[in-house]
Amino acid sequence: MTNSNGYDIDALVGEWLTLRDAAKALSVSPNRVKQFIRDHRLLGVKRSGELAIPSAFIANGDVVKGLPGTLTLLADCGFSTDEALHWMFTPDDTLPGAPIEALAANRGTEVRRRAQAMAI
């Protein structure tokens, strides 16, 4: 799925979870997952008419540590959902790896520092 900015979000994100699959992985209701999206704890996009969440955002039955704060920072910087997904999954040589990989490796401070720098 190529977005309006011309990049293929599917190629960046890789595996997606349906709303139901994400709810099952988190042991919550689908409505709770929707609330997580509204609260910037998760990001979701419509794919083939159905809400989908990147599977990389969920690990060990929970939202990846540091993801909600990072998503809130990106939203405060004015990032759209597509832009935030692009940023989260685009490799950054200074991290190294993509921000979501750094968060999953418990390097959230580095990721949030970069997100905060964009707000300035």
Output the tens digit of pLDDT for each of the chain's 120 residues: 444 445 688 888 999 999 999 999 999 999 999 999 999 999 999 988 999 999 999 999 999 999 999 999 999 889 999 999 999 999 988 888 999 999 999 999 999 888 888 765
Q: Is 26 part of any domain?
A: yes
Q: Is 1 part of any domain?
A: no
Q: Is 16 part of any domain?
A: yes
Q: Using alpha carbons, select from 107, 42, 50 the residue that is nearest to residue 71.
A: 42
Locus of tokens 């905060």: 116
Q: Is 2 part of any domain?
A: no
Distance CA 66, CA 103 (A): 6
Distance CA 37, CA 68 (A): 10
Q: Is 3 part of any domain?
A: no
**What is the total count of domains within the chain?**
1
Q: Is 52 part of any domain?
A: yes
Q: Is 81 part of any domain?
A: yes
Quote the domain boundaries for residue 76.
9-119
For residue 29, the model assigns a pLDDT of 97
Q: Is 32 part of any domain?
A: yes
100 and 57 in contact (C-beta within 8 Å)? yes
